[in-house]
Amino acid sequence: MPRTRTAATTALVAISALALAGCSSAGAADDAAGGAPASGSEGGFPVTIEHAFGETTIESKPERVATVSWSNQEVPIALGIVPVGMAEVTWGDDDGDGVLPWVEEKLEELGGEAPVLFDETDGIDFEAVADTQPDVILAAYSGLTEEEYDTLSKIAPVVAYPDLAWGTSYEDMIRLNSQALGLAEEGETLIEDLQAEVDEALAAQPALADATVLFSYIDPSDFSKIGFYTSLDTRPGFLTSLGLPEPAVVVEESEGNESFYAELSAEEADRFADVDVFVTYGDASGSIISQLQADPLLSQIPAIAEGRIAILEESTPLAASANPSPLSIGWGVDEYFAVLADALN
């Protein structure tokens, strides 16, 4: 849940941030992580970016880049910039260091001082963000509230999501965040390179061609409901962008819905009849498949009855990579598509 803060605390954060910004020096910035990239176009500043809360103007090229929420840090890192601070990862981390493996690999390649990790367990840690003295805060893929946006904006210019919370595609995340860095052209090149990787990985799995995939969440302790991600979520959105058809239930439940997630009663199992592959999180044993097949209602769904269920092991890097991002695609898209295709065999 978002961290609750009093008005006095919020004001203190803003005052502290302004004081920190005022006493920072060029020498301190040079010594810290997050310096400007070694190569690439400088971009034209000031830059103004429109988003869900209005617009943000960045007056000059940022040297100290902070990011909040999921995967925004991957844009500057992919473009050669080490952030001064970024969100600590608590889901999908394989070694407990708060950094996903594909990010860790790239940071090691870039060198420099390690970013400060912001603990977002209870919401944005405004004091920690302010302490890194950022010139810009990237949050193009996030679920920021307007209150959180306003508080962060007292620290530095903020790039928020363009339309709906948690609804930004990885392509748009790259476009917005790279524009804020003065690296819009490099961002477009990155998108093109990633698309080529994705297309090659999908072509290697012909079984997935025209497959109807439902990205679901089914609680093993409660089979009375079927949870699934709507068209607004980046997981099914990624697959749809590649030309895979959407299940009818996803189309129907997404219409007029501004949420990335929906639930239906198991008594409506017939609405999932056109699903070719159920994707869900589960344990490594895959025991949830036999449990689902034993359920009198859910077993009426053809994909479940025939075992066409792709299991992403809970809280693993592979499961995290199903939400595509600039660095996770090269790390795991081949394995991810292979897991989906295997469910059809």
- The model's pTM is 0.85
CA nearest neighbour of 16 among 133, 123, 120, 149: 133
CA nearest neighbour of 79 among 89, 59, 65, 93: 65
Q: How far apart are CA 131 and CA 13, in angstroms?
A: 10
CA distances from 263 to 48, 298, 343 (A): 38, 14, 23
| Terminal Cα-to-Cα distance of the chain (whole angstroms) | 40
Tokens linked to 281: 């999180």
In terms of CATH, what superfamily is 206-342?
Answer: Nitrogenase molybdenum iron protein domain (3.40.50.1980)
pLDDT by position in tens, the chain (length 345): 222 233 333 333 333 333 333 333 333 333 333 333 333 445 589 999 999 999 999 999 999 999 999 999 999 999 999 999 999 999 999 999 999 999 999 999 999 889 999 999 999 999 999 999 999 999 999 999 999 999 999 999 999 999 999 999 999 999 999 999 999 999 999 999 999 999 999 999 999 999 999 999 988 899 999 999 999 999 999 999 999 999 999 999 999 888 899 999 999 999 999 999 999 999 878 789 999 999 999 999 999 999 999 999 999 999 999 999 999 999 999 999 999 999 998
Per domain, the residue ranges of the chain are 7-185, 206-342
One CATH from 3.40.50.720, 3.30.300.30, 3.40.50.1980, 1.10.3080.10 for 7-185: 3.40.50.1980
Structural contact between residues 114 and 132, judged by C-beta atoms closer than 8 angstroms: no
Q: Which residues contact 203 (CB under 8 A, 6 or more apart)?
A: none
Q: How far apart are CA 146 and CA 198, in angstroms?
A: 34
Query: 280: helix, coil or strand?
Result: strand
Q: How far apart are CA 284 and CA 304, in angstroms?
A: 18
Residues 231, 235, 239, 242, CA torsion sign:
positive
Say which residue the tokens 């400060």 belong to: 116
Q: Quick count: other Cβ atoms within 10 Å of Cβ 210? A: 9
